[in-house]
Amino acid sequence: MELHRALKYNHPMIEVEKLTKIYSSSRSKRTAVDDVSFSVPKGEFFALLGPNGAGKTTTISILATILSPTSGEVRVDGIDVRKDPHLVRQKIGVIFQDPSLDDRLSAFENMEFHGRLYGMPREVRSRRSEFLLNMVELWDRRNDLVRTFSGGMRRRLEIARGLMHFPQLLILDEPTIGLDPKTRRSLWEYIHRARREWTMTILLTTHYLEEADGADRVAIMDQGRFVALDTPAALKKSLGPEVIILETPEENRDSLRKHLVGRYGPSLEIHDEGEGRISFPLPSHERSSVQLIRELPGTILSVTVRTPHLDDVFIQLTGRGMVPTDEGTAPFHRVYRGKL
């Protein structure tokens, strides 16, 4: 038994070898996933990052056995998705980008329905529903029809439902699109709590670097291929330093430049950004941008610290910009305004 278990734990949760998916119709052929290989060990949090149309959704649809690969090998927990799709489905939980609840049933009935479909015995179902509905703070509303729920409540119910059958692999497809910040935070809190409770591998697709930041490893996808695969820290490091942008009155500009050159040496590249702003890359030996800002001479009108973000990684790797997202680049800027 122990040996059996040990052997089972030796293979990765996800193994993808030379996966290719071609959508062909009578008129055209489109390669959505192009010769992708990767593997995700058990318990890892793995993120697929990339713009719309990069092939993220196709990849996870194949893992979830909804689409079949054109060629290549795909195994989930050692099980071939083509040979035994039902066994694979039993192991995965999916939290979809779009709603997928039955709004004419109550919260509890949605959980029950899910549990029945996954073959859970009655007593396991009811205890599990109670535990999860309490976790997402919907236990008091369990008998209300889902149609009376707000968007945030529905989302929480979907998370609870996705965790219902103890999935060993949780697939999250752009899970926080259109969510308010509070719901977004609690979603991650619930998922991390669930991860502490049992070994769960997480596969996330997202446009947001901020979200992928929590992952153990991130794969950046573009036009059906992986263009990078590394830890978030390593990816960011490859992008270079933070950039500081300072806005000062005209009369202070020269003394500021002199201070910066004095501090970092004549090799510092200072750019004029126009509108009274100058920018420079923060040298790596400067420990804290806050410390620097405190010590700047004269009047500073505003300070912007730009940390590298997905757009930068993406442009660097592909020479093109990402499709703009509704969030823009806001999460990656920290702006200090007023007197410092």
Task: Point out which span in 116-124, 209-217, 229-237, 284-292 binds another protein (CB under 8 A).
Answer: 116-124
By C-beta, is 169 or 228 nearer to another protein? 169
Q: How far is the CB of 65 from another protein (least distance, A)?
A: 8
By C-beta, is 171 or 296 nearer to another protein? 171
Q: How far is the CB of 280 from another protein (least distance, A)?
A: 43
Length of the chain: 340
Q: Does 148 bind another protein (CB under 8 A)?
A: no
Angstrom distances, CA of residue 112 to CA of 40, 115, 129, 169: 31, 5, 7, 20
By C-beta, is 119 or 266 nearer to another protein? 119
Q: Which of residues 17, 102, 180, 189 is near another protein by CB under 8 A?
A: 102
By C-beta, is 50 or 308 nearer to another protein? 50
Assign residue 325 a region (left: φ > 0; alpha: ψ between -120 and 50; beta: otherwise): beta
Task: Point out which span in 115-123, 179-187, 253-261, 320-328 binds another protein (CB under 8 A).
Answer: 115-123
Dihedrals phi, psi of 122, to nearest 5 degrees: -50, -50
Q: Does 139 bind another protein (CB under 8 A)?
A: no
| Helix spans in the chain (H) | 2-10, 56-63, 85-91, 107-117, 122-135, 151-163, 181-197, 209-212, 232-237, 253-264, 289-294, 310-318
CA atoms of 313 and 328, how far apart (whole Å): 15
Q: Does 309 bind another protein (CB under 8 A)?
A: no
Q: Which of residues 6, 119, 291, 319 is near another protein by CB under 8 A?
A: 119
Angstrom distances, CA of residue 340 to CA of 223, 231, 248, 305, 337: 45, 35, 12, 14, 8
Amino acid (1-letter code) at residue 245: I
CA atoms of 50 and 220, how far apart (whole Å): 6
Q: Does 170 bind another protein (CB under 8 A)?
A: no
Any idea of the CA torsion for 196, 201, 206, 210, to the nearest 10 degrees? Answer: 40
By C-beta, is 67 or 260 nearer to another protein? 67
Q: How far is the CB of 90 from another protein (least distance, A)?
A: 4
Q: Does 57 bind another protein (CB under 8 A)?
A: yes
Q: Which of residues 14, 19, 49, 101 is near another protein by CB under 8 A?
A: 101
Site residues for another protein per CB under 8 A: 9, 57, 60-61, 64-67, 86-87, 89-90, 92, 94, 96-105, 109, 113-114, 116-121, 123-124, 127-128, 131, 145, 161, 165-166, 168, 173, 197-199
